[in-house]
Chain A
Amino acid sequence: MGTAIAFYVIAACILGFAVLVISTKDTVHSVLFLVLDFLFVAALYVLLGAEFLAAIQILVYAGGIVVLYLFVVMLVNLKRPPEAHADPHRKTALGFGLAAAVLAELAAVAVYSANTPARPIVEAAAVPVTGNTEVVGWMLYTSYLIPFEIASMLLLVAMIGAIVLAKREL
């Protein structure tokens, strides 16, 4: 009961702030609502018993990535009215169509998963460690080793690319 109330309050806050992110005129305020949104997503993780993910969510998204967004937004000074940024070739109908497709997909997944009983992704006996952080680490380095390595390669490529772009003559 208590968990359900907490979930619905947090979910309502997440959706509310998400709407504010895209509807606020001032870009800096919009970024700040995004931070609030991430904090509430972290709260959702805590509710699900995933403390490690919650801490990482705050550290990486709220504390790291959005700070860089804020830098960019502050420095380019978007004080003009939003109409000035509007793209004349914007395909509004296409955008709505894609959004509707994503919404339909999410609804389909929700309906499908509501009808099938939840199955734990990890068999409990297969993991020899206990504790949130330990299980995440164990899964990353056993079942998900190859996706993990591919992700780190991607990040390495992105880092090298950023260095090459920033320093034209090395």
Chain B
Amino acid sequence: MIDIFLIPLLKIVIVLNATLVAVSYLVLLERKVIAWAQSRLGPMRVGPYGILQPIADAVKLMIKEDITPVRADKWVFTAAPVISMVPALIVYAVIPFGPAVSLFGRRVPLYITDINVGLLYIVSVASVGVYGIILAGYASNSKFPLLASLRASAQLISYEVAVTLTLVSVILMSGSLSMVSIVRAQESSHLWYAFAQPLAFVIFIIGSLAETNRAPFDMPEAEQELTGGFHTEYSGMRFALFFLAEYANMIVVSSVATTLFLGGWLRPFPNVAMLGFLDVVPSWTWFLVKSFFFLYVFIWIRATLPRYRYDQLMRIGWKVLIPLAIANLLVTGIVKVVLS
């Protein structure tokens, strides 16, 4: 009873709450880092160094008036923020934060579940997330959101191809679709896949930037052209849901990148006995540090690079990334056959 019901429920509650707190502080981190990059201070008023800013933002968004445009498609307009938020959250079910650990005399794995099609589950759930964006643009019954949602969904569909192809290379290397087995395979092959598959790693990072609508691929939210993006007509808590979904997706792609390419919860050089003292640090800390690295890089890129033009974005996606990903997949397959 405790093992099949209570522990998973507790883990779900902990992961969901931790994610939402992490998301709100990720927003603060982004504002701070970008402010420092531009020689500003960023939020400073709410609490020391502005650390209570996310709470103030949340309260503001919750008590704001919630407006539904008169000509909006009411049902779809209400459902769209939920549709974009739910996939971003349920992906955490298969992300391994650590191996099984002993806790109060029980073996508790530090992941909610480990299904044998874990990676495929993540890809398919993420592919449903695009509905939130399309429907938000359509249901608003307004020009700019519709244009933005068309841009966003075309971008998502294009880059999904390249990203999924890089995932296939990783699956070929590990021989498994389960997230836990992929980490184990990296442990036993003494190699993080970022070094075995550098090209796939780079394509994955670029594709993830595009899939999460982050700079330099944030065309769907280009304020100068579209007044704001697919969520222009949304206000209050519904807007907040889109906002949270975007940052939750950032955390998802960072976690996936960590698991697939940087050895998940493994410490650096897990097979070098001399570095055994690093085992003092709990395994989930390594996972968090690596994920944080990716999140910081995403923010750093946003502070540094200008936005691409839309045709450039499509050209990079279809004419550079997808052929490179296919070539990488072919070479991986050939090498795997030759070596076995």
Which A residues lie at the B interface, using CB under 8 A? 26, 28-29, 32, 35, 39, 51-52, 54-56, 58-59, 62-64, 67, 70-71, 74, 131-133
Contact = CB atoms under 8 A, between A and B. Distances in A.
A128 to B, nearest CB: 15
Nearest to A68: B157
Interface string B129-149: 011001100100000001000
A62 B116 contact: no
B130 A67 contact: yes
A71 B153 contact: yes
Given A58-B127, A59-B120, A133-B120, 18 more contacts: A28-B73, A29-B75, A32-B76, A32-B135, A39-B128, A52-B117, A56-B120, A58-B128, A59-B127, A62-B124, A63-B127, A63-B128, A70-B131, A74-B146, A131-B116, A132-B116, A133-B117, A133-B177
B121 interface: yes
Contacts of B75: 29
Interface residues of B, number: 24
A67 B135 CA distance: 10
Q: Give chain A's interface secondary structure class.
A: helix
B297 interface: no
B191 to A, nearest CB: 23
Interface of B: 73, 75-76, 115-117, 120-121, 123-128, 130-131, 134-135, 138, 146, 150, 153, 157, 177
Contacts of A63: 124, 126-128, 130
B194 to A, nearest CB: 24
B75 to A, nearest CB: 7
- Is chain B's binding surface mostly helix, strand, loop or mixed? helix
A6 B121 CA distance: 21
Contacts of A59: 120, 123-124, 127
Contacts of A56: 120, 124
A28 B76 contact: yes
B276 to A, nearest CB: 34
A13 to B, nearest CB: 17
Contact of B121 (A26, A32, A55, A71): A55
A56 B76 CA distance: 26
B117 A55 contact: yes
A67 B124 contact: no
Contacts of B157: 64, 67
A54 B127 CA distance: 14
A167 B131 CA distance: 29
A35 B121 contact: no
A133 B130 CA distance: 26
A55 B135 CA distance: 23
Nearest to B75: A29
B214 to A, nearest CB: 21
Given A63-B124, A70-B134, A71-B153, A133 B116 contact: yes
Contact of B134 (A54, A64, A74): A74
Q: Count chain A CB atoms within 10 A of each CB in B130, B131, B146, B157 and give the residue with the most.
A: B131
A67 B153 contact: yes
Contacts of B116: 51, 131-133
A79 to B, nearest CB: 11
Contacts of A70: 131, 134, 138
A67 B138 contact: no
A169 B200 CA distance: 34
A111 to B, nearest CB: 35
Given A28-B76, A67-B130, A74 B124 contact: no
A64 B127 contact: yes
B131 A51 contact: no
A58 B138 contact: no
A165 B73 CA distance: 34
Contacts of A132: 116-117
Contact of A55 (B73, B124, B131, B146): B124
